[in-house]
Amino acid sequence: MLRLFVNRRQKMVEFEVKNKDLLARIGRLKTKSGIVETPAFLPVINMAKQSVTPRELWEEFGCRILITNAYIIKKQHADKALNMGIHSFLDFPGTIMTDSGAYQILAYGDIEATPDEIIKFQEEIDTDIATILDLPTGWAVSKERAEYTVRETVNRAGKLQELRSRNDILWVGPIQGGRYLDLVAKSARKMSRIQFDIHALGSPTPVMEQYLFDLLVDMIFAAKMNLPFNRPFHLFGAGHPFMFALAVALGCDLFDSAAYNIFAQDDRYLTTYGTVHLKELEYLPCSCPVCYKRDAQDFREMPKRERETELTRHNLHVCFAEIKRIKQAIREGRLWEHLMRRTHGHPSLLQAMKRLKDYCEFIERHSPVVKKSGLFFFSSIDLARPEVIRHDKKLRERYTPPEKAKVLVLYPSVGPRRTLRSKLYKRALADICEKLRIDHSEAQVCFYIPPFGVVPKELSDVYPLSQFEIVCPPDADTIRYVAQRIIDYLREKRYERRVMIIKSGTWQEEIAQICKEAFEKEGKFLEFLIV
């Protein structure tokens, strides 16, 4: 599958998407220093505090892209970087992205460089991916201030085309607006009209530091839903491997973090479920090359400098391994399952996962229709899965029961293909027709299936209506969802008789009860047959 975005200057921004799942994509982004496979984690390089060098990142970790701060380099090593070029200066042959100093504006109020100088400097040091000097919104600011930062960033972005002199550098257009979602959307709409190659969500760091991942979900969607979908998207400062899966699933192709380094300086050990202080560790829950021969005590006994380096290396291994797991999950079409595992690692992440319900239709529109593997359903959170949303939509909009179907038989199932093969089903169906005195040819079987709702028998081979596993009995919200789908179906489609089959003492009774109450209220008729 080739997705090519061509901007108006006919400079090709090549971003080829190989695999997709949810809004995530395994892609190949072409830069002048090589092709970068996405999703990619970009370690932040700060030469003053670096215990693992860029060369080691390249050789030992297979890191192909990193990010450093153009403003800090300009301030501290301008001549050297200009003479050597950024690749020699850092000693890194891969792709280098540079940030512009916006974070320093946020931290210190202002910086000693103009937006024009920052654009020029990034071209002169020969970076591969450059960022305009945007004006970050920050966190605790008024709406007026936020609006000003959006406007000012768009103004600065508008000047890029006049100022840039090279065509081989990819430019990043940051989206501002902070926690004001309408402003994020506005910023995205305005920035998308400017010829950027990549967009980024600006200043989400405070949101992540406070674990407001549900707000982060809102911010990312406000941006993504108003940007050209195929343009790569970067999330600044997506610090921790426990949230990489969430970021990728929401369509973040690139994200950077200095956490691997900063945390190591403070004896903090990264895992995919959170951060642990070294002094709290009795066992090392990791088998990376740093940890597999050691225990926590070995770490504690190391001299400070060595410990910091080794912890940094461990933290990097955890980050890169998680990216590989995410990519494999995308390949298998199991990113949702991976996301469920990760988000159950922390309540604030699970809260963010629940927020996906608000965006389920957008996710559905961009998610692949067919996958290689079956689906696992764990709880009502899975009701936001694109496959569940898609089935409901198709049934409502495109399905008409066969004309000769006069009697609807609603039959319970947790896997229609299995049900159809079972002797119990065949016998039960014959019994039902006899008991109700109905002709086989006039009866239409529809299964009621958690979490999908109503599935007409003739659709039971459509993916994934028979390719899934679910926890039984389903939880209360899933039961309510299925019952509501039955009620909606019965309201919309015409049958002379409707019969619901229930096995007593099971979850089916609860569904039947909800349907019965709804229909009694409407004065309609639904028969129940208990088997």
Task: Decide if 450 contacts 470 (C-beta within 8 A).
Answer: yes
Among the listed residues 219, 286, 311, 500, the single contact to Zn ion using CB under 5 A:
286
Mask: binding to Zn ion, 97-116, rule CB under 5 A, as x and -? Answer: --------------------
- Taking Cα atoms as reference points, which of 4, 13, 3 lies closest to residue 170? 13
Q: Which is nearer to Zn ion, 290 or 296 (CB)?
A: 290
Instruction: Compute the least distance from the CB of residue 276 to Zn ion, in Å.
Output: 12
CB within 8 A of 442, min separation 6: which ones? 404, 405, 406, 407
Instruction: Compute the least distance from the CB of residue 58 to Zn ion, in Å.
Output: 20
CB within 8 A of 106, min separation 6: which ones? 136, 138, 203
The tokens 């971003």 sit on which residue?
Answer: 15
Instruction: Compute the least distance from the CB of residue 310 to Zn ion, in Å.
Output: 9
Strand 407-412 vs strand 375-377: parallel, antiparallel, or unpaired? unpaired
128 annotated active-site: no
Check binding of 288 to Zn ion (CB under 5 A).
Answer: yes
| DSSP conformational letter for 171 | E
Mask: binding to Zn ion, 302-331, rule CB under 5 A, as x and -? Answer: ------------x-----------------
CB atoms within 10 A of CB 351: 16
Q: Is 493 helix (H, G, I), strand (E, B) or coil?
A: coil
Instruction: Compute the least distance from the CB of residue 290 to Zn ion, in Å.
Output: 5
Q: Which stretch binds Zn ion (CB under 5 A): 105-113, 161-169, 284-292, 413-421?
A: 284-292
Task: Give the separation between CA 208 and CA 215, rounded to whole angstroms.
Answer: 9
- 79, 91, 99, 477: which is the annotated catalytic residue? 99
Number of H helices, E strands in the chain: 21, 21
User: For residue 511, what are its two tokens?
Assistant: 């569904």
Check binding of 385 to Zn ion (CB under 5 A).
Answer: no
- Taking Cα atoms as reference points, which of 318, 275, 279 lies closest to residue 300? 279
Q: Which is nearer to Zn ion, 260 or 481 (CB)?
A: 260
Q: How many residues bind Zn ion (CB under 5 A)?
A: 5
Task: Give the separation between CA 100 and CA 104, rounded to whole angstroms.
Answer: 9
Q: Which is nearer to Zn ion, 268 or 331 (CB)?
A: 268
Q: Which stretch binds Zn ion (CB under 5 A): 193-201, 290-298, 454-462, 510-518?
A: 290-298
- Taking Cα atoms as reference points, which of 219, 214, 212, 215 lies closest to residue 235? 219
Q: Which is nearer to Zn ion, 61 or 378 (CB)?
A: 61
Instruction: Compute the least distance from the CB of residue 314 to Zn ion, in Å.
Output: 4
Task: Decide if 478 contacts 379 (C-beta within 8 A).
Answer: yes
Task: Give the separation between CA 183 and CA 188, rounded to whole angstroms.
Answer: 8
Residue type, 440: H
Q: Which stretch binds Zn ion (CB under 5 A): 105-113, 223-231, 278-286, 349-357?
A: 278-286
Q: Which stretch binds Zn ion (CB under 5 A): 63-71, 171-179, 285-293, 520-528?
A: 285-293
Instruction: Compute the least distance from the CB of residue 209 to Zn ion, in Å.
Output: 24
Q: Which alpha helices (DSSP H) does 196-303 contain, by range?
A: 205-209, 213-224, 244-249, 259-265, 296-301
Task: Give the separation between CA 276 and CA 346, rounded to whole angstroms.
Answer: 13
Mask: binding to Zn ion, 7-46, rule CB under 5 A, as x and -? Answer: ----------------------------------------
Instruction: Compute the least distance from the CB of residue 315 to Zn ion, in Å.
Output: 8
Q: Which is nearer to Zn ion, 238 or 291 (CB)?
A: 291
Q: Which is nearer to Zn ion, 190 or 314 (CB)?
A: 314
Q: Could you give the maximum distance between any two Cα atoms of the chain, in Å? A: 92
Integer angstrom CA distances of residue 420 from 44, 411, 436, 444, 479: 56, 11, 21, 13, 22
DSSP lists the bridge partners of residue 412 as 448
Q: Return the axis-axis angle of helices 476-492 and 386-398, rounded to nearest 10°.
A: 10
E strand spans, 135-287: 170-175, 198-201, 233-235, 254-257, 268-271, 274-277
Q: Which is nearer to Zn ion, 233 or 299 (CB)?
A: 299
Instruction: Compute the least distance from the CB of residue 243 to Zn ion, in Å.
Output: 19
Residues 63-82 that bind Zn ion (CB under 5 A): none
Q: Which is nearer to Zn ion, 218 or 267 (CB)?
A: 267
Phi/psi of residue 379, nearest 5 degrees? -155, -175
Instruction: Compute the least distance from the CB of residue 273 to Zn ion, in Å.
Output: 14
Q: Which is nearer to Zn ion, 321 or 360 (CB)?
A: 321
Check binding of 353 to Zn ion (CB under 5 A).
Answer: no
Task: Give the separation between CA 253 and CA 25, rounded to whole angstroms.
Answer: 7
Q: Which stretch binds Zn ion (CB under 5 A): 107-115, 209-217, 289-297, 327-335?
A: 289-297
Among the listed residues 65, 105, 291, 383, the single contact to Zn ion using CB under 5 A:
291
Active site residues: 99
Binding positions for Zn ion, rule: CB under 5 A: 286, 288, 290-291, 314
